[in-house]
Amino acid sequence: MRVKVLSRNPDDYVRETKLDLQRVPRNYDPVLHPFEVPREYTRALNATKLERVFAKPFLSSLDGHRDGVNCMAKHPKSLSTVLSGACDGEVRIWNLTKRQGIRTLQAHEGFVRGMCTRFCGTSFFTVGDDKTVKQWKMESPAYGEEEEPIHTILGKTVYTGIDHHWKEAVFATCGQQVDIWDEQRISPMCSFTWGFDSISSVKFNPIETYLLGSCASDRNIVLYDMRQSTPLKKVILNMRTNTLCWNPMEAFIFTAANEDYNLYTFDMRFLSSPVMVHMDHVSAVLDVDYSPTGKEFVSASFDKSVRIFPVDKGHSREVYHTKRMQHVITVKWTSDSKYILCGSDEMNIRLWKANASEKLGVLAPREKAAMNYNQKLKEKFQHHPQIKRIARHRHLPKSIFCQIKEQRIMREARRQKELNRRKHSKPGSVPVVPEKKKHIVAVVQ
Amino acid sequence: AGPAFTAACAPRQGPEDGDRRHRQLLEAVSALSGRAGEKLVLSELLQPIRAQSALSSVKKQLSKVKQKKAVELPLSKEERERVVREAAYVKTSKDVGKWQPVVLQNRRAEQLVFPLKQEIAAVAPLERVVSAWKPRTPLEQEIFGLLHKTQQPVTDPLLTPQEKASLQAMSLEEARRRRAELQKARVLQSYYEAKARREKKIKSKKYHRVLKKSKRRKALKEFEQLQKSDPEAALAKLEELEQLRMEERMSLKHQNKGKWARSKAIMAKYDLEARKAMQEQLARNKELMQKVRVELPEEEPGDVPEEDLPPVTIPVGASRANPWMLGKPSDPAKEPEVQEAREDAAVPAAVESKEEEEEEEEVSEEEALLQEFEQKRHTEAVPDPQGDSSVHPLCDEEQPSAGIEPPPQAQEEILLSEQLDRVQTMEEVEALASKEPSEEQEQQPAAAGAKERASWQEKGKAGTRPAKKPTAKEKMIRLESVLSEKPQEIQCPSLPLVMEEEEGGIDQRGVISEAFAGDDVVADFHREKRKAEQDGKPQALNLVLPGWGEWGGSGLKPSAKKIKRFLIKPPPAPPRKDQHLPHVILSEQRNIHAAAHQVSELPFPFEKHQQFEQSIRTPVGPTWNTQRAFQKLTAPRVITRAGHIIQPLSAEDLASAASGAKPVLETAPKQREQPPRRPHKRAR
């Protein structure tokens, strides 16, 4: 009789070092592991609950300004540095790891209207109510030196915004017109005007760097081409756009923050209707900034909240608020796409996690695997009512909550009225206007 | 107007003349136009010169001028700007449109890893690293020194200088020659294989028998020749034989255990030939198991008269293949002599005679243990009464020194003997069977009395007795089993064990049946199903009101007619789905508790409910998927790294995408995501 002897390769079960994990052979026979769906459902439910339990996005608040924070700028090379300008003309540079201000300078008389950093990170520019554009060194002055700007440009009118070119020594300001400046000169290289109204913000396209977008208070958004020194097109919306932001991963996409509580994502090639209307805020949206991954953006609103929207979704995935946070004027998404900074009226800059329940710090591989698995489960079972209910649940302050309810009622009433009107008039005389088209007044060549 | 025109048309006079004429022309024209309210028409001007052919070319030109339209007004500033803007916009949007494929690709990508431009850790060549590095600590220096001394290759080719030299030494011709040799060898081998196959196919038994016999004879002859010509080689052959024996001992061949042997065992009762075949096989086994005996020169001086060897004590059967069998590391100087002695003495023993084994050798004291061990082996192989006498004194020496752990073989022996004991007392204590064998084992070495030894002797005398004894007691034993066990001479521990197991099995079954005595699961299920069926049937609606149209009161029942009229029977329910499934109850009622957890409508990206169900049904967890699949399934869509700045796309990305035709943001190579794993050597 032949006796079959078990023979195994020791490599399959012997550890090389004692620090290695023990290999646990598993039998994946589905018969041995029944009830896949219910078990995974339970896991998904637990993961969702845990996500909500651990959703503590607020990290810290940077206080030190003596007036409302009006503008912020990211450092292009250093993640831990952020700059902020206040309504009293003070500019502060912060160290985020220490959560301290590392430098303070009185940049302007009156508001600091806008600020931007140079692409190399060695200096930054500010514009203020005192009709000046100032360039500052990023480093603090040596002992005994006075805090002085490198350059000061005195303009004729108030500049309301500034942005720096992403690759060249060129910057753009806006006020009564959009000016393109060479850093070496004290007069603009060229100025764009189209109509006569104050322009509130100008932004360079980060990918196609010769493109600019601006928004004016006569409700329009204008695009410019720096090479051809001409405006390209103008789209007029129902209400004024406060600012816009280009998508850093998609050259032709930008998002505009509007006074009518909505944000509009446009494809610059097809301006007649926005790609997506993002609604959720209940007051004017004051600032918007894209995540560097280009998949999401964050918006700051007058309704004292910050919301995060996926680019391709009409509604926000997250809302951040605290009791003490007043009207949020400016918001930035850090360049590692992990944090969000918002500056608000009550003189504070707040640091939030971009992903509310994310665990900070180094994760063990197993932890990471578990996290990924949980994420996948949540995604898989997201349509199930219980999970959806838990995942969607957010606490809101009463004011916002009530306003949302009110808005809903108003919207419903408007819709009903339109329905009624359509019902009682000649067929075709009251056309159905899609939501995307509703907010566009005209596109001007 | 005539002369004035002619004057105007002839401008080739002097300048002063021209001036005058021009004035005249102006006057004439002004006179023409001077007519109140009339317009000057070109045709009017041309009329008078119709006749003159000299002016026809001028006329032609003028008619051409007449056909042309007036130049349009220049555009207003706003319009001009608009045109410029339009053109610029078209151009720019076309420009930006080149990003479209990149954007789409990124939107659809399974996984995006940011930052896009990963700094690939440049792998410095090992030489550079090694040359830059210097040993500092004493340990490092030591290791470095060692490495240097042996000239171990540190760098990539991984060849020692010697190897390198040997590689270089082989020239092209040499390589060619070598290859030719190899080819030849291969061809020869294939020929040989073909031949062997052909021969193997021959079915004739007689042929094979003859072949075998001739082979054996040939081998014998060869061996004898070898012995004469080359004693060294003969010794090697001998060793081979010894090896064969060891292999035989290890294997289970020729032990009448195979399929063939079992079938023969069945037939043995009736068929003489089969019995013979079995015997033959057993004989072969014995033969192969035979110890290759080394005859000491003193014992058989007649065989080796010419060589006078010094009396060397050789451990009996200390096979050189097994170093553990040598009691002491023997002197290398002595070895050849020993070999010679063995070679001379052992050949006949190895081939046929086993009677010569009976002799026992004198052995040194320190090798007593080993020898005893060997002897036991002998007795196992060849049970002969004379061997016993020699075993005993050794055993006596051994037994008192029980402190030393007996070798495994001895332990087996003890176990077997103990079995014998028990068999003797079996009449009195059947219950002993329940005793734990380990307990008995422990008891055994302690009881080293004379009784034990007696039993040993008994065992020695009657080899097959232990196997026979149980047959007397139990009628369960089959002939086959006895026959098959015979060569191994195992003292049948299996039989009583089988009994035990059977008893235990019955007990178990009894216990189970006792424990579940009250449960009739099947009947319960049927009852339940019947109840479910009853509940599922639509109920008849009873509208019978007692007292209406007839007498009512206690004890009075409504009449059958009335009941028949007012009992409304519902239409029969559709057939149950579990009608033909006897082991199943299918409930078609909606489970409200489950419904709270179920999706009520098809979610957006799915188009059919099957798709959605499929997506839910496939598990992603590590419980159901292998590690690799799990990692693949749960890979996140977007990966960012803390502390890394993500730069926006740039023109280089586009260029690379266009040229390389690969995504700008590559879907992450999976191994990047996996935790670092140790490399596995899978040498088999």
pLDDT in tens, B225-257: 888 888 888 888 888 888 888 888 888 777 778
Q: What confidence score (pLDDT) does residue B52 get?
A: 61
Residue B2 confidence (pLDDT) above 80: no
Q: Which residues contact B663 (CB under 8 A, 6 or more apart)?
A: B102, B105, B106, B109, B657
By C-alpha distance, which of A156, A112, A119 is closest to A134? A112
Determine, for residues A376 and B649 on separate chains, whether the beta-carbon distance falls below 8 Å: no
Residues in B closer than 8 angstroms to A445, CB to CB, are 82, 85-86, 89
Range in A304-318, B223-237, B338-352, B540-554 the model is least confident about: B338-352
Chain A, chain B: beta-carbon pairs less than 8 Å apart: 168
Q: Give B396-431 as a DSSP string.
A: HHHTT-TTSPPPHHHHHHHHHHHHHHHHHTTTT-SG
Residue B664 confidence (pLDDT) above 70: no
Residue B259 distance to chain A (closest CA, Å): 7
Mutation target among B93, B644, B673 for the A interface, most CBs of A within 10 A: B93
Mutation target among A31, A79, A207 for the B interface, most CBs of B within 10 A: A207
Give CA–CA dist A114/A158, Å, rounded.
11
Residues in B closer than 8 angstroms to A206, CB to CB, are 648-649
| A3, A225, A295 ranked by CB distance to B92: nearest | A225
Determine, for residues B99 and A207 on separate chains, whether the beta-carbon distance falls below 8 Å: yes
- Please, which pLDDT band fits residue A368 given cuts at 50, 70 and 90? very high
Mean pLDDT value across residues A263-277: 95
Q: What confidence score (pLDDT) does residue B450 get?
A: 43
Residue B388 confidence (pLDDT) above 60: no
Mean pLDDT value across residues B302-306: 41
State pLDDT tens for residues B70-87.
788 888 988 999 999 999
Q: What confidence score (pLDDT) does residue B393 get?
A: 40
- Please, which pLDDT band fits residue B281 given cuts at 50, 70 and 90? confident
Q: What confidence score (pLDDT) does residue B521 get?
A: 86
| B97, B624, B642 ranked by CB distance to A30: nearest | B624
Peptide bond into B648 cis (omega under 30): no
Q: How far apart are the first and last CA of chain B?
A: 122
Q: What is the DSSP letter of A270?
A: B
| B96, B257, B630 ranked by CB distance to A252: nearest | B96
Interhelix angle B335-351/B205-229, rounded to 10 degrees, is 150
Q: Is B85 on the interface with A (CB under 8 A)?
A: yes
Return the residue of A nearest to B675 by Cα.
A365
Determine, for residues A232 and B89 on separate chains, whether the beta-carbon distance falls below 8 Å: yes
Mutation target among B105, B597, B681 for the A interface, most CBs of A within 10 A: B597
Give CA–CA dist B622/A425, Å, rounded.
61
- Percentage of chain B modeled with pLDDT above 90: 16
Q: Give A313-332 as a DSSP string.
A: -SS-SEEE--SS---EEEEE
Determine, for residues B682 and A11 on separate chains, whether the beta-carbon distance falls below 8 Å: yes
ipTM value, please give it. Answer: 0.91
Determine, for residues B630 and A211 on separate chains, whether the beta-carbon distance falls below 8 Å: no
State pLDDT tens for residues A154-199.
999 999 999 999 999 999 999 999 999 999 998 999 999 888 789 9
Mean pLDDT value across residues B88-99: 93
Mean pLDDT value across residues A368-396: 93
Interhelix angle B205-229/B231-250, rounded to 10 degrees, is 140
Residue B172 confidence (pLDDT) above 80: yes
Determine, for residues B106 and A43 on separate chains, whether the beta-carbon distance falls below 8 Å: no
State pLDDT tens for residues B476-528.
444 444 444 444 444 444 434 444 444 445 678 888 888 887 778 888 999 99
Residue B667 confidence (pLDDT) above 80: no
Burial class (CB in 10 A: 0-12, 13-18, 19+), B256: buried
Residues in A closer than 8 angstroms to B634, CB to CB, are 369, 372-373, 375-376
Burial class (CB in 10 A: 0-12, 13-18, 19+), B430: exposed
Extract the tokens encoding B138. Answer: 């004493």
**Cα–Cα–Cα angle for B483, B485, B491, nearest 5°?**
130
State pLDDT tens for residues B391-413.
344 334 444 344 444 444 444 44
Q: What confidence score (pLDDT) does residue B394 get?
A: 38
Q: What confidence score (pLDDT) does residue B518 get?
A: 75
Determine, for residues A292 and B648 on separate chains, whether the beta-carbon distance falls below 8 Å: yes
The separation between CA B202 and the C-alpha centre of its own chain, rounded to angstroms, equals 40
Residues in B closer than 8 angstroms to A292, CB to CB, are 114, 645-648
Residue A326 distance to chain B (closest CA, Å): 29
Locate tokens 């007449």: which residue? B66
Determine, for residues A36 and B619 on separate chains, whether the beta-carbon distance falls below 8 Å: yes
Q: What confidence score (pLDDT) does residue A199 get?
A: 94
Determine, for residues B258 and A1 on separate chains, whether the beta-carbon distance falls below 8 Å: yes
Range in A183-197, A285-299, B149-163 the model is least confident about: B149-163
Mean pLDDT value across residues B123-147: 80
State pLDDT tens for residues A207-221.
999 999 999 999 999
Q: What confidence score (pLDDT) does residue B50 get?
A: 57
Q: Is B626 on the interface with A (CB under 8 A)?
A: yes
Extract the tokens encoding A133. Answer: 């554009």
